Structure 1
Amino acid sequence: MPRFRRTALAAGLTIAMAALSTAVALPAPASAALPTAAVALGDSFISGEGAGAYTPVVDVNGVAQGFPGWTAANNNAFFCHRSANASLNKANLPGIQNRFNLACSGGQPRDIATASAAREKGRTVAAQIDQLRAVAQTQDIDLVLIGLGSNNSSFTFGSVAEKCANRFIADAWTGWWEFWAYLGGPVEQKPCSDADLATAAQVSAATAETIAAVRQLLTTLNQVDADGQHRVVFQDYTNPLPLDLNPQFHEEDSRDDTRDKFRDLGAERYAAGCPIHRASLAPGHRFSQGLGTIVKTTRDTLAAEFPSNDLVYLNVQQAFNGARLCEQTTSPTGSLATPIRLQDGATGTFVTSLAGKDKLDIQRIANTCVSYFQTCQESWHPNAAGHQVLGQCLAGAATTAARAVSCVRAGNGTISVS
């Protein structure tokens, strides 16, 4: 056969095969399914603050930060305090293969889309949305737990707790309040009122801020999730203190907290984990309910904007019933929250008793918390047992058919989600 005829034949076969492959496309190899994942975002009640067993946290430079020492700068990424005992890690979540805790203690709405390091007192971690994108590259995100709103541009949980505890201690140890000059003047010696914690205008501003941040989060999640199918659980907050203290903590040495000075009572309540005026408790619970309203309003608003998304509100305000600090005579033993604990210098050793302390002792101990916030930041957060309970709450919210559920602790300690 002449060369030109062989060449033409070969060319014809090539064209025919090309036409065949175009008409009947061969199936592409099936891609391996990504492992399923649950992700936590938000602030300290989600990260696991108070639960111990804190794991290294990758900072904005891609370096995993382990415990840097008690005198390190508090903006260190490690102090996000992501705990192996956090509720995400303790929840029974059938079908979930991997879990990623991206929350950070002290997290604010702005930290969702902006690096936390960009704001005052922020930690050196990337924006939580950017961390979420990284997870989505290798995981099919099926469940997201988010807790946001207790810290915002108007107020923070830490500042509220500090204000009310400081007032009680100042009242109990009358005369030592001048050592708290770092707060801008003498500490008030009266119980906290509703207006002291958060005004209606502040709650409104915090709500708008939270909605805007979570809107960005949901938009990103819808873009990066492998199959577009995921449930988002909006968890609110539980108060570490009861509506009233156990009668054992009402007075000491025939003095209650309406007196001018009551050091023995102050020391007793500090040891039990609840240095607080009894009259501050009701405003504190109304503040907690206000935080719940922020979270629920955020969920409801965004459910209307994202009608195809699976969004569930998880109310945990009664999850610690009967086991709050100073609710039982054994407090803090048996409580589900961490007591307020300070250090006398950044030593790692907590002061468990203020009995016999004088003004200079109090000044020195207080200044440790101011200089090294990590020495006291666990105070009044769920402890490991508390996060175990919150994990049960999450497990219920992860499978419910309802759009809003409450997690309640009964008198016998059982947890129900309905």
Structure 2
Amino acid sequence: MSKIRRIALVVALVATVSAVDALSATSDRSSAAARPVAEVAALPTAAVALGDSFVSGEGAGAYTSVADVNGVPQEFPGWSAPNNNAFFCHRSANASLHKANLPGIQARFNLACSGGQPHDIASASINRTSGRNVSAQLDQLRAVAQTNDIDLVLVGLGSNNSSFTFGDVASKCANRFVADAWTGWWEFWAYLGGPVEQAPCSAGDLATPAQVSAATAETTNAVRQLLTTLDQVDPDGQHRIVFQDYTNPLPFDLESKFHEEDGRDDSRDKFRDLGAERYAGGCPIHRASLAAGHLFSGNLGTLVQSVANTMRTEFPSADLVYLNVQRAFDGARLCESANSPTGTLATPIRLQDGPTGVPLTSLSGYDKIAIQRIANSCVSYFQTCQESWHPNAAGHAVLGQCLAGAAATPNRTVACVRSGNGTITIS
């Protein structure tokens, strides 16, 4: 069967997923186990990605159509469309799943969705606030399992949850810097009708220990349902599950070009030229926020590793690998070198002046009123800025190398590290 026909069949199966849901867990398991060995062996082997933007391919472009809850493929609906459109899951042909060298894998299915949360694993995303119009990822997985032997599952989950989301964290720190660079204290009330936070982000602004703990429990419950479902739908029981964590798009400190501008730096009241230069480089952020951001990334890594460890205890026979990618972009993060964003592995923050489809690469010359208008476009039409601070196509290609290593390693915990010369090492 050709790849195109297989994809068409999966779309049709998603449209009838209510019939699959009607089966009990016991029936699912019995049905899968009862399939003839020869029939299972004849199925194409498949790799599947589930989770959020860091595995869906956000930032990598080449986005493919996504079937909505009714099984209708959604193409790009326009820049002013509601952001809950299924297309904005941003499943990319350049996602790491599609770029990884996976010997023996015949078919690949990207079921992840940008902005995905633990809720979306077992429940339709559209049923929560700000969710997209797509079926539960487990329902989509069941559909794939009808015609494929699932051998590899990439899971990227935890950066978005009921307590915090990556998008909110990123926009909070970027907005504080932009407000600090363009708005004087005396303009709070005169122009904006109230105080605008301008202080650098602290660790507590991004995620408190209690929030991380709640997110860990929420993610653990979702992954538990995933592993249970895999046991039900994969008759031969032979599948590796790779838990990938997250890499920070920003460096531990900015290259000097981005914190020296005509004698102005972060310690001064006003630094619009510096602000514009950082925006052009892709990193409108206080230097003092960077440490908090890396602590947040590290906490996400701890979250993912904790989930993997818990699953090892609960599913002792499962083939589980924790993939640490926190250093996969070393030396190629935004504003880590003077030519940023050229040569980096992450997408710069880019805004649009309305839903025009034209990203602004420079904010030089804009006044505070224009900056407010531009920032509001991101709020009203999130797709205009949705790709910001995600891996770009080159970044997802690197993550594909990381995935390939995790798929082949005999180890249960691996780290994917980029060296100074760009070499990727998995150990």
Query: What TM-score, normalized by structure 1, do the two folds share?
Result: 0.91
User: Are 2:183 and 2:368, in contact at CA under 8 Å, matched by a contact in 1?
Assistant: no
- Shift, 1:383, TM fit: 0.1
Residue of structure 2 in register with 1:217 after alignment: 226
Residue 399 of structure 2 is aligned to residue 390 of structure 1: yes
Query: What TM-score, normalized by structure 2, do the two folds share?
Result: 0.89
Which letter does structure 1 place at the counterpart of 2:137? Q
Residue of structure 1 in register with 2:309 after alignment: 300
> What secondary structure is seen at the aligned counterpart in 2 of 1:164?
helix
Residue of structure 2 in register with 1:243 after alignment: 252
- Shift, 1:258, TM fit: 1.6
> What secondary structure is seen at the aligned counterpart in 2 of 1:112?
helix
Q: How many residues end up aligned between the 2 structures?
A: 389
Residue of structure 2 in register with 1:317 after alignment: 326
Which letter does structure 2 place at the counterpart of 1:203? V
Residue of structure 2 in register with 1:13 after alignment: none
Which letter does structure 2 place at the counterpart of 1:171? D
Summarize the Cα distance change of 1:417–1:178 in structure 2 as closer, same or farther, 3 Å threshold: farther
Provide Cα deviations, 1:11-53, integer angstroms capped at 9, x if missing partner: xxxxxxxxxxxxxxxxx99436110000000000000000000
**Which of 160, 167, 170 pairs up with 1:151?**
160
Residue 49 of structure 2 is aligned to residue 40 of structure 1: yes
User: Are 1:141 and 1:226, in contact at CA under 8 Å, matched by a contact in 2?
Assistant: no
Residue 152 of structure 2 is aligned to residue 137 of structure 1: no
Residue of structure 1 in register with 2:195 after alignment: 186
Residue of structure 1 in register with 2:78 after alignment: 69
In 2, Cα distance between equivalents of 1:328 and 1:265: 16
Residue of structure 1 in register with 2:24 after alignment: none
In 1, Cα distance between equivalents of 2:240 and 2:135: 24
User: Are 2:157 and 2:219, in contact at CA under 8 Å, matched by a contact in 1?
Assistant: yes
Summarize the Cα distance change of 1:34–1:164 in structure 2 as closer, same or farther, 3 Å threshold: same
- Shift, 1:253, TM fit: 1.6
Matches within 5 A, 1:51-62: 51-62=60-71
Summarize the Cα distance change of 1:54–1:156 in structure 2 as closer, same or farther, 3 Å threshold: same
In 1, Cα distance between equivalents of 2:287 and 2:122: 39
> What secondary structure is seen at the aligned counterpart in 2 of 1:141?
strand
In 2, Cα distance between equivalents of 1:167 and 1:344: 19
Residue 291 of structure 2 is aligned to residue 272 of structure 1: no
Summarize the Cα distance change of 1:359–1:33 in structure 2 as closer, same or farther, 3 Å threshold: same
Gaps of 5+ in 2: 1-35
> What secondary structure is seen at the aligned counterpart in 1 of 2:91?
coil
Provide Cα deviations, 1:322-356, integer angstroms capped at 9, x if missing partner: 00000011000000000000000101000111111
Residue of structure 2 in register with 1:326 after alignment: 335
- Shift, 1:226, TM fit: 3.0
Summarize the Cα distance change of 1:243–1:299 in structure 2 as closer, same or farther, 3 Å threshold: same
Which letter does structure 2 place at the counterpart of 1:401? P
Residue of structure 2 in register with 1:364 after alignment: 373
Which letter does structure 2 place at the counterpart of 1:148? L
User: Are 2:151 and 2:240, in contact at CA under 8 Å, matched by a contact in 1?
Assistant: yes
Residue 303 of structure 2 is aligned to residue 285 of structure 1: no
- Shift, 1:180, TM fit: 10
In 2, Cα distance between equivalents of 1:101 and 1:179: 49
Provide Cα deviations, 1:166-188, integer angstroms capped at 9, x if missing partner: 0101111124667997xx96331
In 2, Cα distance between equivalents of 1:317 and 1:415: 12
User: Are 1:249 and 1:269, in contact at CA under 8 Å, matched by a contact in 2?
Assistant: yes
Q: Aligned-residue CA RMSD in angstroms?
A: 1.5
Which letter does structure 2 place at the counterpart of 1:202? Q
Residue 118 of structure 2 is aligned to residue 109 of structure 1: yes
- Shift, 1:257, TM fit: 1.2
Which letter does structure 2 place at the counterpart of 1:352? T
Runs (4+) of structure 1 exceeding 2 A deviation are: 28-32, 175-181, 184-187
Residue 242 of structure 2 is aligned to residue 233 of structure 1: yes
Matches within 5 A, 1:1-20: none
**Which of 201, 204, 218 pairs up with 2:213?**
204
User: Are 2:58 and 2:391, in contact at CA under 8 Å, matched by a contact in 1?
Assistant: yes
**Which of 336, 340, 353 pairs up with 2:345?**
336
In 2, Cα distance between equivalents of 1:288 and 1:207: 14
Summarize the Cα distance change of 1:180–1:235 in structure 2 as closer, same or farther, 3 Å threshold: farther
Provide Cα deviations, 1:276-308, integer angstroms capped at 9, x if missing partner: 000100110000000000100000001100000
What percent of counterpart residues are identical? 78
In 1, Cα distance between equivalents of 2:209 and 2:118: 18
In 2, Cα distance between equivalents of 1:350 and 1:104: 22
Instruction: Please say which structure displays the higher CA radius of gyration.
Output: 1
